[in-house]
Amino acid sequence: MRLDALVLRQHPRNLDNYCTGKHSFLMKFDPAQIKCIVSDLDGTLLLSNAELGERTVAAVRACTARGLQVILATGRSLMAAEPYRAQLDLKGPMIYYNGAELVHMPEGRIEESHLFPVEAAIYCVNLARKRHIHFHVFFIDDADFSTEILMSENPSNAAAVYTERTGLNFQYGDLIKSLNSAAPPQCAKGLFIADDSELEDVRRIINAKFGTTLNIVKSASTFLEVLNNRASKGAALESVLKTTGWLPKEVIAFGDEENDISMLKTAGHAVAPANAKDAVKAAAQTIIGNHDDESVAAFLETHFL
């Protein structure tokens, strides 16, 4: 059994379970109790080229063959995440748009939906116009999971980067006009793309206006997502637990970014890759290797296969 790129350290809050050495530690959780594995995609399960490694595909498929439920929990839209779900041959509840949509796949049955308020979307569009930064929204149709429109007002370098990252193409037009229409389309979320300092300013401004009525969270260093305050990966995972009857100790979660913290806190055991943000590592019990080393696959092989 391969141990390369596995566990670098146990989080200091579990020092009673820590042993020195690159791969030497005592696990706080019991793998035999785990019924569900939940994983983020970008920066966690995916390589830097936005592809799934062969080892990862094999490990995840082997876990499901052994009866473990594997759930993708991603900020990506359903359509942007679908190639990965299909490649992994996963079935059951999947968490999209950072928890704004909980969808049973492959049927596409919407189990839970928390839409981005139109008033907040309009405010964000005006803020983006004023600061001359990229902002886009996802318009969706809950009656047809395959209908989603990624819309921004103007082509930009940020839009091109997002398209390259996700494979999704933009429609361009007047967002205020669309949102103020007699029957405005449903919004899953909004997303600003800018440098870190700009996004922190934007976060403060929106928080001052809307407070806790929105969930404002980073999914990457240059991505700031604005969602319904009931939309988070953690809240979606809690819904899965209620439906299935699983206990937190029966769930293990993997994530690397700010938007993963709620999920890591909901799961009984939380794992972060070495490339994760410091705040994410602080929320995890176990730190593994870099995502480009397919460290999630190595962890799964060691403890579940």
pLDDT in tens, 121-142: 999 999 999 999 999 999 987 6
Which residues contact residue 181 at a Cβ distance below 8 angstroms, ignoring those fewer than 6 apart?
A: none
Measured distance CA(180)–CA(214) in Å, rounded: 20
pLDDT at 20: 26
pLDDT at 185: 84
Please report which helix (H) or strand (E) contains residue 140, including its range.
strand 134-140
pLDDT at 147: 78
pLDDT tens, 272-282? 999 999 999 99
Tell me the torsion sign for CA atoms 258, 260, 262, 267: negative
pLDDT at 182: 77
pLDDT tens, 143-181? 665 678 999 999 999 999 999 999 999 999 999 999 998
- For all residues of the chain together, what is the average pLDDT? 90
Measured distance CA(258)–CA(274) in Å, rounded: 14
Average pLDDT over residues 249-263: 97
- Does residue 183 carry a pLDDT above 60? yes
pLDDT at 145: 56
Average pLDDT over residues 212-217: 96
pLDDT at 106: 95
Tell me the torsion sign for CA atoms 116, 117, 120, 121: positive
For domain 118-228, is the CATH number 3.30.1240.10?
yes
Share of the chain above pLDDT 90, in %: 85
pLDDT tens, 25-43? 334 678 999 999 999 999 9
Which residues contact residue 288 at a Cβ distance below 8 angstroms, ignoring those fewer than 6 apart?
A: 5, 6, 7, 8, 271, 272, 273, 274, 295, 296, 298, 299
pLDDT at 144: 61
Q: From the CB of residue 208, how many other CB atoms can be counted at a distance below 10 Å?
A: 8
pLDDT at 23: 31
- Does residue 6 carry a pLDDT above 60? no
pLDDT at 184: 78
Structural tokens at position 151 = 């819309």
Average pLDDT over residues 286-293: 97
Where do the CATH 3.30.1240.10 domains begin and end in the chain? Answer: 118-228
pLDDT at 17: 32
Cβ pair 36, 42 in contact under 8 A: no
Average pLDDT over residues 203-210: 97
Average pLDDT over residues 228-252: 97
115 burial class (0-12, 13-18, 19+ CB within 10 angstroms)?
Answer: buried
pLDDT tens, 44-95? 999 999 999 999 999 999 999 999 999 999 999 999 999 999 999 999 999 9
Where do the CATH 3.40.50.1000 domains begin and end in the chain? Answer: 7-113+232-304
Q: From the CB of residue 206, how many other CB atoms can be counted at a distance below 10 Å?
A: 20
Fold for the domain defined by 7-113+232-304: Rossmann fold (3.40.50)
